[in-house]
Amino acid sequence: MIKVWDPLLRLFHWSLVASIAIAWLTSEDGEALHEWAGYAALGLIAFRLVWGLIGPHYARFTQFICGPKEVITYTRDILGKREKRYIGHNPLGAIMVVALLATTAATGVTGWLMVEPERMSMLPEMPAFVTPAYADSDEEREYGEGDEKVLKDIHELFANLLLLLIFLHVSGVIYAGRHHKENLARAMVTGKKRAPEHDDIS
pLDDT of 127 > 60? The answer is no
Ordered structural domains, the chain, with CATH: 2-123+143-193 (1.20.950.20)
Per-residue model confidence as pLDDT tens digits over 70-110: 999 999 999 998 899 999 999 999 999 999 999 999 999 99
Per-residue model confidence as pLDDT tens digits over 25-51: 998 877 889 999 999 999 999 999 999
- Burial of 202: CB neighbours in 10 Å, binned 0-12, 13-18, 19+: middle
The size of the chain, in residues, is 202
Say how many Å lie between the first and final Cα of the chain, rounded: 13
Average pLDDT over residues 143-152: 69
Listing DSSP states for 51-78 in one string gives HHHHS-GGGSHHHH---HHHHHHHHHHH
